[in-house]
Amino acid sequence: MSLELYGHPFSSYTWKALIALYANGIAFDFCELGPDHPGNGEFVSKAHPAGKFPVLVDGDQVVVEATAIVEFLAVRHPGPAPLIPTDPAEAVTARMLDRLFDNYVMTNVQRVVGAYIANMESPDPAELTAGKDGLRRAYAWLEAWLGANALPPHVSLVTCAAAPSLFYADWVERIPEDCPRVAGLRAELLALSPVARCVDEARPYRMLFPLGAPNRGLSERLGLLQRLPRFDYLAELLLLAPVPAVAVGVEAADELGIFPTHRVKVRVVGEAKCA
Cα distance between the two ends of the chain: 43
Q: Give the dihedral sign, CA 147/149/154/157.
A: negative
Q: Are β-strands 3-7 and 28-32 bridged in parallel, bridged antiparallel, or unpaired?
A: parallel
Comparing 153 with 221, the larger pLDDT belongs to 153
Q: Using the predicted structure, report yes or no on whether residue 219 has a pLDDT greater than 50.
A: no
Rounded to the nearest integer, the mean pLDDT of the chain is 83
Contact status, residue 17 vs residue 5, Cβ threshold 8 Å = yes
pLDDT at 269: 36
70 vs 233: CA distance, rounded Å: 25
**pLDDT-based confidence at 214, cuts 50/70/90?**
confident
Cα distances from 220 to residues 130, 155, 214, 258, in angstroms, run: 27, 29, 12, 10
pLDDT at 77: 97
Q: Which residues pair with 236 in a beta bridge?
A: 247, 267
Q: For 173-227, where are the alpha helices, taking DSSP H only?
A: 180-190, 193-202, 218-225
Comparing 273 with 142, the larger pLDDT belongs to 142
pLDDT tens readout for residues 10-60: 999 999 999 999 999 999 999 999 999 999 999 999 999 999 999 999 999
- Please name each of the domains of the chain with its CATH number: 1-213 (1.20.1050.130), 215-271 (no CATH)
pLDDT at 216: 60
Contact status, residue 268 vs residue 233, Cβ threshold 8 Å = yes
Q: Using the predicted structure, report yes or no on whether residue 197 has a pLDDT greater than 90.
A: yes
Cα distances from 126 to residues 32, 54, 134, 209, in angstroms, run: 34, 30, 12, 20
Q: Look at residues 196, 203, 213, 202 and name the one whose alpha carbon lies nearest to residue 249.
A: 196
Contact status, residue 116 vs residue 155, Cβ threshold 8 Å = no
* Mean pLDDT, range 75-102, rounded to an integer: 97
Comparing 269 with 192, the larger pLDDT belongs to 192
pLDDT tens readout for residues 123-143: 999 999 999 999 999 999 999
Contact status, residue 194 vs residue 234, Cβ threshold 8 Å = no
Q: Give the dihedral sign, CA 178/149/186/11.
A: negative
**pLDDT-based confidence at 1, cuts 50/70/90?**
low
**pLDDT-based confidence at 264, cuts 50/70/90?**
very low
pTM: 0.80
* Mean pLDDT, range 176-189, rounded to an integer: 96
273 vs 233: CA distance, rounded Å: 8
86: Cβ–Cβ under 8 A, 6 or more apart, which residues?
Answer: none
* Mean pLDDT, range 243-268, rounded to an integer: 36
pLDDT at 244: 33
Q: Look at residues 38, 46, 36, 43 and name the one whose alpha carbon lies nearest to residue 6.
A: 43
